[in-house]
Amino acid sequence: MSSAQSFSGTDPNQHKRVTARSNPGFLERLSETAGGTLVGVGLFFLSIYVLFTNEGRALQTASSLDEGLSQVVSLGPYLSLDLQNNNRLVHLSAQLHTLQPLHDPNYRVVVQAVKLKRQVEMYQWVEYRESRDYQENGETKTETTYSYNTEWKSELVNSRNFDKEIGHQNPSAMAVESVEVVAPEVRVGPFILSKGLVEQINNFKTLSLKNFNAFNLDPFLSIDDDYFYHTQYPRRPEVGDVRVRFSYAGLSGETSPLGPAQIVSIVAMQRGEQLMPFKTKSGDTLEILYLEELTAEEVFAREHQYNSMKTWGLRAAGWALMCISIQLTMRIIYTLVDWVPILRELVSVGLKIFALCVSCSLSLLTIGSTPCIQRHRSC
C-alpha cells in the first residue's frame, strides 16, 4: 500500500511531494533478493565475456599495429600520385584542402572548412528533483523536492513530464534545428579522404562573431557573445527564445582569416587517388588520422598507447561488473540475517570483502588465461 501528499510553499517554482509505503515483510524481501540473485548471475557471465573479449581485442589490435608499421610507406613532404603504391599502406602529413567553402544562408555564415556545425539552444524550463527516504510509523516515506529553473538547453525539454506543468510550460518544437554540414570532397595533396577519415576530423572551434558583418540580417536577430539571438533582448531572454552558435572543424582555406589550413597525419591504403581502409592479416582495419604533423612511427606509437588505455579501461569495467554481480548474488545471505542488527553489519562487511577478493582473483585468472586460449585456437 502507498499514498502520496503534495506540499507547496511560497515559492511557485518549488514544491514537495511525500509518498508512503508499508515496509515489506520477510518473504517479500526474500523474493526481491532472489530476483537480484538472477540478475547477479547474468551480470557475472557478462563480466567474463567483457574481460575475455577485451583481451582478445587488445592482442589483435597490437598485432595489427605491428604489422602495419612493418609495411607502411612514408610518402615524404612532396606528395605525388605514385601508382606503385596502389593497395599499399601509406603515411603522409599535409594540409587539408576543400574545393568550396561551407555556408549557412540563413545567417550568412561562410567558412572554408571540412565541417560546419550549427548548434541551436532554446530558453526553457528545467525540472530538478531531490529525494530522501525516512522511516515513520512503521512506513518508509519518500520526500521529493521539485524545483524549476529556466536555462538554455540544446535538446527539447518536454514539460508534459513535469510533476507540475502549470506555470512551467515549454514550446513543443524548436524554431530552428541544429545541423552539421560536411564538405563533399576533402583532399590532402592529390589524395581524396575516405568517409571514415573525414569522420575523425572533429577539432571543432567556436566561430567568433566579433568582426561579423551584421548588415542585412533579419531585424529580429541580434548578436551577443558569439551567438545569434532570435530576440532583441539577449540579456533578458524569455521561455521560447532561441540562440544559435556556429563551430567549424578542419580549416582548409589557403588564405582564411581564421588561420592556416589544418595539418593532418594519415595512415591508410592508397588506391589510385583515394585513401581507403587497410585490412591487416591480423583482422583489424587501419584507417588513422591525427590532427597534427607526426611521423609514421609516432602515429603507431600513439595507437599503441590508445590501445593500452582502452584495454585497462575495459579491464576495470569488467572487474567492477563482476564485483557488483557477486554482491547481488550473495545478497540473499544478508536478507536472511538482516533482522539481527550486529550480525547484519558483520555479514554486510564480510560479503563486500568476499566479493572484492573473488572478483579480483577471477578477473586476473580470466585476463591471464585469455592469451593461452587464443594461441590454442590459432594452432
Helix (H, G, I), strand (E, B) or coil at 191: strand
Query: In terms of Cα–Cα distance, which of 71, 75, 90, 78 is closest to 274?
Result: 90
Domain ranges of the chain: 24-71+295-379, 73-125+151-291
Q: What is the pLDDT along the chain (379 residues), one digit of tens a residue?
A: 555 666 666 788 888 888 777 656 555 665 666 677 888 889 999 999 999 999 999 999 999 999 999 999 999 877 788 888 999 999 999 999 999 999 998 898 999 999 999 999 999 999 999 998 887 777 778 889 999 999 999 999 999 999 999 999 999 999 899 999 999 999 999 999 999 999 999 999 999 988 777 656 777 788 999 999 998 889 999 999 999 999 999 999 777 788 899 999 999 999 999 999 999 999 899 999 999 999 999 999 999 999 999 999 999 999 999 999 998 888 777 666 665 667 767 877 888 898 899 999 999 998 888 766 655 555 4
Q: Which residue has the cell 519518500?
A: 142
Q: What is d(CA 93, CA 3) in angstroms, rounded to the nearest whole number?
A: 67
Which grid coordinates belong to 59?
592482442
The pTM assigned to this predicted structure is: 0.82
**Strand pairing partners for 372?**
none
**Strand pairing partners for 21?**
2, 140
Q: How far is CA 107 from CA 118, 153, 181, 206, 214, in A?
A: 10, 20, 14, 15, 9
Longest dimension (CA), the chain: 85
Write the CB contacts of 137 (distance below 8 Å, at least 6 apart in sequence).
none
- Give the tens place of pLDDT for each residue, 137-168: 777 788 899 999 999 999 999 999 999 999 99
Q: How far is CA 40 from CA 14, 29, 111, in A?
A: 39, 16, 53
- Give the tens place of pLDDT for each residue, 108-133: 899 999 999 999 999 999 999 999 88
